[in-house]
């Protein structure tokens, strides 16, 4: 059984339409949605069977009927805290997903029969959640409570989920009451008892360390080695337990732990497969929630004995969640275990591998532990899903445009001509339709004149997207252009302005090669992000020479903008959209460094002559794409930080990039409407565009996560008259067809 608090994909409100219900059912792939009131009280359920019955019983079909008129009000439910047997009895009646409600009837959890998982504290343990990483401190504190707390600090700094200790009543545990001076005891046992005599912390000291863990917001766990220790930990209120390999066949202790009702983790070191199966059968009869940790109990374990692939077999033969508890040297094995399905990782932590005791030899130093955690999280992110079809990522799309091939005309083609195979060549770059679609193209009637070397586009197969000259918006609107396509894109349109997206090569051209007089439109400029020599603009770079280079390049852009004012006199103070800096190729920075970086950017603008232009720093996403590769962005991502910067630097304004900000909101769990409301007073220019997830940038408007109807209403209230462009990625292709589609959509939602 798997219990989760993530209910959002499964709930609809009572007034939501049947269309909304069907979308939820399609999204969650569980064939059911639960209907709740506005206060999250469970009202009923709607399965795909309920929908079919409703359809067959109604002669007039209205998909806008409210959910409450279709729902099953007698849906089975479980009250939070009920015994596991209650869940199982309801599952046996054919139900696969059960709503779990609190005493007031609020839907708080969902329980699934076909999956495994549970919670330790507020942390979900399942195949769907990030791995639960344990810093095993054990007795590496050497009996020193100060060192124990220091190790907790290192564990917290590493980003672990849990700091774990061990508790023993030595007199109960050993038949000779733990007397290390007993001459009859074997050498190994005598050594272990000697270490325990010297390095055990008292129960009271351990309680103090557990409390310290809570102060530091890391979960404390402990291994009870005997019944007295279990009773002491229960009295403290330990939320879960770890069972050492040595007790994996100790059914009395296992039963006592299971009867606490708490989940636990079991290491399987020193056990045969038949013993593993027997223990699993025993625990399942008790209805326990547990994870099996593959483990080799040698210190250190030779790599040849790790047998990491056994994780897959362990999961197969038991059907249980699995994890890895490692005693080998280094960090590569626990990282690799993630790819084999480990949902729990346990590794020892020390401050000195030369200290007395066997565990120190197999322990990681703090920096090593932190690196292991970072790499585990990277691998988790990289694993993706084996349940979804492969999709082309945003970075791949960019590189496909630059590196792949596409279909081009190898001869001039007149409108009305039938396109033959001999007219088509396959050439780089990949900015037209892909070569595998050649059979769809051949035989079509050309719906436009195509120059030799011109790309074929989807519209050459499926029809032209028409540009209009009567778009209606209550604010100035424009589209992005380059110098070379300006004339073609603005012809036969009623655009108010254009936004020149400059490349660093554009800084070298002669404007008279493209313009022979004054133009009737307004204009804005988007500064290059990349300059010659792979220089990405960064006004807060640590390297002062690099920073000064960025300042000089932006000053060149300001100069070009002033030249363009002579050609486009309608705009008195043109906006220059700038990605001001704050990116990092390695990861997100310490937030404590941000104020100094914002100050560097402010200082950079203060040293420039900004007369006659308006700098608009673009809102940024967490993961910007830098020409086909992903980076990390730290500044102008958070609305509160943007407001603070603009309050301190009133001459600098903001360009709201909706796609960037939507991705930031998705990543950090913010609300886009609240984000926009916070930065609205400083917003002078907008890139209106959609986004998907945390890095799906610039997708077709209306196909992503942005609620454009709500956004339009908010912008009408908070930013009336602020100009915008639809910055659809590759929207300029085929005469700007992506822009015209976007403008049609935005007009329909009354932007």
Cα separation, 99 vs 1, in Å, equals 13
687: left (phi over 0), alpha (psi -120 to 50) or beta: beta
Question: What dotted CATH number matches 395-462?
Answer: 3.90.1210.10
- HSE at residue 569, side-chain half, CA atoms within 13 A, is 3
Q: What is the pTM of this model?
A: 0.68
705: which 2 tokens? 């996560």
Euclidean distance between CA atoms 535 and 73, whole angstroms: 62
C-alpha distance from residue 700 to each of 153, 186, 490, 706, 726 (Å): 47, 73, 21, 11, 10
The model's pLDDT over 660-696, given as tens digits with 9 standing for 90+, comes to 999 999 999 999 999 999 999 999 999 999 998 888 8
Q: Which residue has the tokens 């008292």?
A: 202
Q: State the helix-helix crossing angle for 639-648 and 594-606, rounded to 10 degrees.
A: 40
Lookup result for tokens 């930065």: 679
Neighbours of 316 (CB within 10 A): 9
Cα within 13 Å of Cα(736), Cβ side: 28
Torsion of CA 98, 111, 121, 366, to 10 degrees: -160
Q: Say how many CA atoms lie within 13 Å of 254 toward its Cβ.
A: 27
Residue 613 to residue 436: CA distance in whole angstroms: 47
Residue 431 pLDDT = 86
CATH homologous superfamily for the domain 536-720+734-748: Divalent-metal-dependent TIM barrel enzymes (3.20.20.150)
Length of the chain: 751
Residues in Cβ contact with 319 at an 8 Å cutoff, skipping those fewer than 6 apart: 116
> Is there a shared CATH topology between the 2-115 domain and the 536-720+734-748 domain?
no
Q: Write down the pLDDT at residue 694.
A: 87
Tokens of 395: 């970075």
Torsion, Cα of 113, 117, 118, 120 (10° steps): 180
**Cα(138)–Cα(142) distance, integer angstroms:** 9
Please give the Cα distance from 193 to 174 (Å, whole number).
9
Predicted local distance difference test score (pLDDT) of residue 631:
82
CATH code at 2-115: 3.10.580.10
Sequence ranges of the domains in the chain: 2-115, 123-383, 395-462, 536-720+734-748
Q: Which of 49, 52, 55, 44 is nearest to 11 (CA)?
A: 44
Torsion of CA 377, 378, 380, 384, to 10 degrees: 150
> Rounded to whole angstroms, how far apart are CA atoms 465 and 100?
50
pLDDT at position 114: 67
Question: Can you tell me the distance from the alpha carbon of 138 to that of 163, in angstroms, rounded to the nearest whole number?
Answer: 9
Give pLDDT < 50 ranges for the chain: 175-181, 184, 188, 191, 628
Say how far apart CA 292 and CA 344 lie, in whole Å: 9
Domain 123-383 CATH (choose: 3.30.565.10, 3.30.2030.30, 3.20.20.70, 2.120.10.30)? 3.20.20.70
Task: Tell me what pLDDT residue 514 has.
Answer: 95
């Amino acid at each position: 059984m798997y219990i989760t608090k993530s209910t959002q994909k499964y709930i609809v409100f009572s007034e939501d339409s049947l269309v909304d219900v069907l979308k939820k059912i399609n999204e969650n792939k569980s064939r059911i949605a639960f209907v709740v009131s506005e206060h999250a009280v469970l009202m009923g359920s709607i399965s795909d069977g309920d929908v079919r019955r409703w359809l067959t019983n109604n002669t007039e079909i209205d998909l806008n009927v409210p959910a409450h008129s279709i729902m099953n009000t007698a849906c089975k439910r479980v009250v939070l805290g009920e015994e596991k047997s209650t869940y199982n009895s309801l599952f046996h009646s054919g139900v696969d997903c059960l709503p779990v409600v609190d005493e007031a009837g609020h839907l708080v959890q969902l329980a699934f029969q076909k999956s495994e998982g549970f919670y330790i504290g507020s942390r979900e343990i399942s195949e769907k959640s990030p791995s639960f990483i344990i810093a095993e401190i054990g007795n590496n504190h050497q009996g020193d409570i100060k060192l124990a707390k220091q190790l907790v600090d290192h564990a917290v700094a590493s980003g672990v989920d849990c700091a774990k200790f061990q508790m023993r009543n030595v007199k109960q545990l050993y038949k000779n009451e733990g007397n290390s001076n007993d001459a009859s005891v074997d050498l190994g046992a005598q050594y272990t008892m000697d270490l325990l005599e010297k390095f055990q912390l008292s129960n009271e000291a351990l309680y103090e360390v557990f409390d310290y863990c809570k102060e530091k917001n890391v979960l404390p766990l402990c291994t009870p080695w005997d019944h007295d220790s279990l009773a002491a930990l229960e009295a403290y209120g330990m939320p879960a337990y770890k069972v050492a390999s040595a007790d994996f066949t100790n059914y009395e202790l296992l039963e006592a732990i299971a009867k606490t009702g708490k989940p636990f983790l079991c290491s399987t070191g020193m056990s045969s497969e038949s013993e593993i199966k027997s223990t699993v059968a025993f625990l399942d009869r008790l209805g326990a929630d547990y994870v099996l940790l593959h483990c080799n109990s040698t210190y250190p374990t030779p790599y040849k004995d790790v047998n990491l692939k056994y994780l897959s077999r362990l999961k197969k033969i038991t059907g249980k969640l699995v994890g890895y508890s490692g005693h080998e040297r280094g960090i590569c094995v626990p990282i690799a275990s993630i790819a084999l399905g480990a949902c729990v990782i346990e590794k020892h932590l020390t401050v000195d591998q030369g200290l007395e005791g066997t565990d120190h030899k197999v322990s990681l130093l703090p920096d090593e532990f932190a690196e292991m955690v970072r790499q585990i999280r990277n691998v988790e992110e990289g694993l993706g899903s084996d349940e979804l079809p492969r999709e082309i990522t945003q970075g791949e799309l960019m590189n496909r445009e630059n590196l792949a091939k596409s279909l081009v005309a190898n001869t001039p083609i007149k409108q009305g001509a039938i396109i033959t195979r001999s007219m088509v060549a396959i050439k780089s770059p990949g900015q037209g339709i892909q070569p595998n679609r050649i059979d769809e193209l051949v035989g079509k009637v050309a719906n436009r004149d195509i120059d030799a070397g011109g790309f074929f586009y989807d519209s050459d197969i499926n029809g032209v997207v028409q540009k209009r000259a009567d778009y209606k918006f209550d604010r100035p609107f424009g589209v992005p252009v380059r110098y070379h396509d300006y004339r073609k894109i603005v012809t036969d349109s009623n655009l108010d302005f254009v936004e020149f997206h400059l490349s660093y090569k554009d800084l070298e051209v002669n404007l008279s090669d493209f313009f022979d007089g004054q133009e009737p439109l307004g204009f804005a400029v988007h500064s290059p992000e990349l300059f010659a020599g792979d220089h990405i603009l960064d006004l807060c770079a640590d390297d002062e020479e690099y920073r000064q280079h960025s300042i000089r390049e932006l000053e060149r852009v300001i100069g070009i903008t002033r030249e363009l004012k002579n050609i486009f006199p309608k705009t008195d103070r043109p906006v220059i959209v700038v990605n001001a800096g704050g990116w990092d190729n390695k990861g997100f920075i310490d937030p404590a460094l941000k104020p100094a970086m914002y100050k560097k950017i402010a200082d950079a603008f203060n040293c420039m002559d900004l007369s006659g232009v308006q700098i608009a720093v673009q809102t940024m996403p967490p993961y910007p794409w830098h020409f086909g590769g992903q980076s990390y962005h730290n500044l102008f991502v958070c609305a509160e930080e943007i407001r603070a910067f603009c309050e301190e630097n009133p001459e600098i304004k903001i360009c709201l990039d909706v796609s960037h900000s939507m991705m930031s909101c998705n990543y950090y769990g913010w609300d886009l409407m609240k984000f926009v409301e916070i930065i609205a007073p400083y917003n002078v220019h907008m890139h209106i565009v959609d986004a998907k997830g945390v890095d799906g940038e610039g997708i077709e408007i209306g196909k992503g996560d942005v609620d454009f109807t709500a956004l339009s209403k908010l912008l009408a209230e908070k930013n009336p008259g602020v100009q915008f462009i639809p910055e659809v990625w590759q929207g300029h292709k085929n005469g700007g067809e992506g822009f015209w589609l976007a403008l049609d959509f935005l007009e329909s939602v009354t932007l």
